[in-house]
Amino acid sequence: MTAGGQQPGFHALRTLLGHRRGGQSRNIDARDYNWQSPHGFRIEQCRQAAEVAQRLCEAVGESMGRLLGVEMRLESKAFDQHYSVNLKAGKPPMAGYSLMLAAEDGREVGYIILSPARALGWVSKRLGSFAGDVTAVRRLSTLETNLLLDIFTTIRDSMAAAAPGLAAVKCSQEIIEGMPRLAGPGYEEFCRFTFAVPKEEGEPAVRVVLQSNLVESAFDIAGQKDGRTPADVRKCIMAHLGRVPIELQAVVGQALVSMEDIIQLVPGDIVPLDTRITDSIRLALRSHCIMRGWMSVSKDNYAVQVSGPPGEDDE
């Protein structure tokens, strides 16, 4: 425990313990994952969700092809799950134009976001003229806004055609520059589908974000869902970590010594350290200082009496 009775940061502790950063564990049931990303769908449900992503991707590509009068092919690049708190913060961020999706009662249930290249490129295609720079978000004219609204509506309609359970989901009429901020509590679970034009560099063409429970019901994803909240998951992980033995090191100090001096060391030589006798010593976990303390004795062993958290100069 640190001074004041607070535990070390959860993320820092998991990092020090060697937990790999980013990505998800293949074995979702093992609970070895980043608790910031929900794993409400188990393995079989994730396979079903990947099939859902492919169906949505094909439906969106076909509808946009008909709207633009061209052959349109999109690839389903990813399916992942996020808590709304991370989507609010724009993690990972995506530039572009977005439109909120709402249920019949007005609740926000997700959004659609288009990259600048796709949004402006498709608008230019409908105008029959060159849209200029399509690499960055810019203010749209009234005509461009209306055409882009038609594109968003086409995408929403194609989703409803692929899954009748989404028929009640409505588009807002306000285009947002960049990623929108979702309302509601931060622990709501969302599924994100990512579609891209084959071999196109940069941001994916389309991302669709929908509440997980809406995806589950609209696409009839079967199976037992893990209904635990983020707080439950965190408690489970912390309980598991609490039983893991960890090797701590008491670091009295260090010295910078030449190889020549090391070779010449003999019993009785004194090696001065960079720690003063009035300095506390470091308690380290995998070379990272997590506490400071004073040398002490416990029965017949050396010990460290914890004095407080690490200082600003500690690594």
222-267 tens-digit pLDDT: 544 556 666 777 777 777 777 777 888 899 988 999 999 999 999 9
CATH topology (fold) of 247-308: Surface presentation of antigens (SPOA) (2.30.330)
The pLDDT of residue 18 is: 47
Name the 3-class secondary structure at 264. Answer: coil
119-149 tens-digit pLDDT: 888 888 888 876 566 667 888 889 989 999 9
269-283 tens-digit pLDDT: 999 999 888 889 999
Give the homologous superfamily in CATH for domain 18-238.
CheC-like (3.40.1550.10)
Assess whether pLDDT exceeds 50 at residue 151: yes
163-167, 171-175, 180-184, 264-268: range with lowest mean pLDDT: 180-184
Task: Provide CATH 3.40.1550.10 ranges for the chain.
Answer: 18-238
How many Cα atoms are found within 13 Å in the side-chain-facing hemisphere of 52? 30
For residues 202 and 221, give the distance between their C-alpha atoms in angstroms, rounded to a whole number.
32
Considering only CA atoms, which of 38, 77, 81, 31 is closest in space to residue 56?
77
Cα 233 versus chain centre, distance: 16
Task: Provide CATH 2.30.330.10 ranges for the chain.
Answer: 247-308
Crossing angle (nearest 10°) for helices 43-68 and 116-127: 30
DSSP string, 163-230: -GGGTT-EE-S--EES-----S-TT-EEEEEEEE-TT--SS-SEEEEEEHHHHHHHTT--S------H
Assess whether pLDDT exceeds 60 at residue 106: yes
37-63 tens-digit pLDDT: 565 666 677 777 788 888 889 999 999
